[in-house]
Amino acid sequence: MSQQESAIKEQNRLIQERAQIEEELGNLRELMQAEVDVEPDEGDAEIFEREKNAALIAVLERKLQDIDSALRSIEKGQYGICERCGRPIEAARLEVKPDATLCVSCQQEVERLARRNRPARQIEW
């Protein structure tokens, strides 16, 4: 499968996933807006439920952002291309992290450099 074909396939998958997340978010937000009629002894369970929903909403919103940024890079024709070395990003990596912009080895390299550079700031020019 060519790079372009897999990008199109991924684009379709992301659009579908995005629609599912939007729907789920809609349901959760509706739940959060619903009138809370709490009996004194049911309060804790109700609050727990709402906190759980709020956390889930945050996770889904974050996921939506990842999907949007992946869709943008597909549109620009940069999907699945490492922006550091220009080689294709591993398919397994894209599966886990669709908005990845670095291949595995560049990601490791960048993280290694970031760790090493921190205490040695003065060497930088």
Tokens found for residue 61: 């919103």
With both helix axes pointing from N to C terminus, report the angle between 43-75 and 3-33 in degrees, rounded to the nearest 10: 150
List the one residue from 84, 88, 90, 99 that touches Zn ion (CB under 5 A): 84
Based on CB atoms, which residue is closest to Zn ion, 71 or 80?
A: 80
Tokens representing 69 are 């940024």
Total residues contacting Zn ion (rule CB under 5 A)? Answer: 5
- In the chain the beta strands, taken as DSSP E runs, fall at none
CB-wise, 71 or 103, nearer to Zn ion?
103
Binding string, residues 93-122; x marks residues near Zn ion by CB under 5 A: ----------x--x----------------
Q: Residue 84 or residue 97: which is nearer to Zn ion going by CB? A: 84
Residue 96 · residue 77 · CB < 8 Å: no
**Comparing C-alpha atoms, which of 21, 105, 115, 109 is closest to residue 63?**
21
Does 70 help bind Zn ion (rule: CB under 5 A)?
Answer: no
Find where tokens 């004194």 sit. 40
Residues forming the site for Zn ion (CB under 5 A): 82, 84-85, 103, 106
